[in-house]
Amino acid sequence: MGKIMFACLIGFVLMLQPSAIYANGNDAANSDFTNAVNEKLKEASYYHNGSAQIIESVSKQAEVTTVVSKDDPNTEENEEKIESITSNVVVALVEYKLQRDGIFYIKKRDFYYYDVDNKEFLLLSNFPTDDEIKSFITDHSKDLTAGLQTGSNLLAAFLLLLVTLLSSLLIMMFHNKSIPLPIVRRNSVQG
């Protein structure tokens, strides 16, 4: 029984170890885009620092449409001014981890649009006429996922099993604490 408990304890400690941080050997890992994505994701809740990895990307010169001044809703005239500029952009499918409670890791994938020249993140609506970017998004939209990693699933199952077993054990230990009375047998035949 002691060896089993020791093995369970060792397994539990090993599951608590954080997973290895992604290492990406290509030059894109050291690019301004990857650093900008890491900085942007630091603003997000539960982001596991440095876990962003570029799955696939498109770098190109594209026409970027931005709103220079918004329309004033108090007037009848349309004062909205839209500007189109040509800029170098990176559109990428990025995978990163979220860390909950220090032990549960969620792997998530999202699209990020980055203007390299102006060093700012964009929206898909900033590319209304670019067919290459739209086809990239369409082709990879099935790759958008979010879910617990296998180690986190195993840890959650282990904790659920542990709580079930411990609660049962505690019930058995503290239930019916009265002193048992000796059983007296009365035989119908006396000899």
> Along the chain (191 residues), what's the average pLDDT of each consecutive run of 10 residues?
60 46 36 83 80 87 79 70 85 86 80 88 84 87 73 79 87 69 64 51
Q: Which of 179, 63, 181 is nearest to 127 (CA)?
A: 63
Residue 133 lies in a domain: yes
The phi and psi torsions of 16 (rounded to 5 degrees) equal -80, -15
- Region of 87 on the Ramachandran plot (φ > 0 left; ψ -120 to 50 alpha; else beta): beta
Containing structural domain, residue 133: 28-58+88-160
Cα(55)–Cα(105) distance, rounded to whole angstroms? Answer: 18
Q: What tens digit of pLDDT does each residue of 88-131 get?
A: 888 999 888 888 777 777 888 889 999 888 888 888 888 888 88
pLDDT for res 144 = 75
Does 75 reside within a domain? no
- As for how many domains the chain has, the answer is 1
Identify whether 147 is part of a domain.
yes
In a domain, 170, yes or no: no
**The predicted structure's pLDDT at residue 105:** 78
69 domain residue, yes or no: no
| Residue 98 belongs to some domain of the structure | yes
Biggest distance spanned by C-alpha atoms of the chain: 117
- How many angstroms separate the CA atoms of 67 and 100, rounded? 37
